[in-house]
Amino acid sequence: MKRFLTAFLIAASASGAWADGLKSLESFMKSAHAGKAEFTQSVTSPPKAGQEARTKVSSGTFEFQRPGKFKFNYTKPFEQLIVADGKTLWLYDADLNQVTQRAQAQVLASTPAAILTSATDLKALQADFGLSAQPASEGLEWVLASPKVKGGQLKSVRVGFTPEGQLAALDIEDSFGQRSLMQFKGLQILAALPASTFQFSVPKGADVLKQ
């Protein structure tokens, strides 16, 4: 889940940026019951002594359905599948032919995935995250979500929307200083997805680790 698991370019008043970002987030949570998109994820780790920071780029597709179902299908550069079926979180590494199985309720409350797929309104989201204003930058409206439970791996998440209110990006920072920027394109909002979308079957011969 480590994979799952910022300079401002435009000056704006905090109140104005917050109103726009909050409106877009609220609209997304209420109206986006299901959807799918392509994504590109850039993960930058803090540089080691005497070295420059390195960025690893991956891409794939994302599908979700509220409440609490989603699938990240990484296709490049390596195949990896993350599926939440509403009860269990599955992580499949094709190279290792290994599956990690976790109880979904124990791991998703204060994660970026919860923002996109679990909470159905702002009040529900505020049970796990503090929300604060962010100035508009990079052509997007931003909302900063900070986990209320401290000491976990997640430090903060910025959720970015286009001026039209379409979900565009997640900018994630963990407690180790690693930044993961996930950018979405071709987002389609749907009424529902087939139930089979979020069904996971353990591949033949795969090792299963339960956590």
Task: Give the residue from 3, 82, 6, 96 showing the smallest Cα distance to 41.
Answer: 3
Domain over 14-46+54-189 is classified CATH 2.50.20.10? yes
What is the reported pLDDT for 127?
87
pLDDT surpassing 50 at residue 46: yes
Contacts with 190 (C-beta within 8 Å, 6 or more apart), sequence order? 33, 34, 35, 36
Q: What is the pLDDT of residue 106?
A: 82
CA distance 189 to 191: 7
* 98-103 and 88-93 strand pairing: antiparallel
Q: What SS3 string covers 3-20?
A: CCCCCCCCCCCHHHHHHH
Is residue 2 very low, low, confident or very high in pLDDT (cuts 50, 70, 90)? very low
Q: What is the mean pLDDT of the chain?
A: 86
Give SS3 for 149.
Answer: coil
Residue 1 identity? M
Would you list the domain boundaries of the chain?
14-46+54-189
Exposure b/e, 130-140, CB count within 10 A at least 16 = b: ebebbbbbeeb
- The size of the chain, in residues, is 211
Question: How do residues 60-96 score in pLDDT, each as one tens digit?
Answer: 999 999 988 999 999 999 999 999 999 999 999 999 9
Mean pLDDT of all residues in 35-43? 97
Residue with the larger pLDDT of the pair 78 and 4: 78
Q: Which of 101, 99, 81 is nearest to 89 (CA)?
A: 101
Per-residue H/E/C for 75-138:
EECCCEEEEEECCEEEEEECCCCEEEEEEHHHHCCCCHHHHHHCCCCHHHHCCCEEEEEEEEEC
Q: Which residues contact 56 (CB under 8 A, 6 or more apart)?
A: 42, 43
Q: Give the model's pLDDT for residue 149.
A: 83
Residue with tokens 């959807």: 35
pTM of this prediction exceeds 0.75 = yes
Count of alpha carbons within 13 angstroms of residue 6, beta-carbon side = 24
* 154-161, strands of its sheet edge to edge: 129-137, 140-147, 154-161, 167-174, 179-190, 34-44, 55-65, 69-76, 80-85, 88-93, 98-103, 207-210
pLDDT reported for residue 194 = 95
pLDDT beyond 60 at 14: no
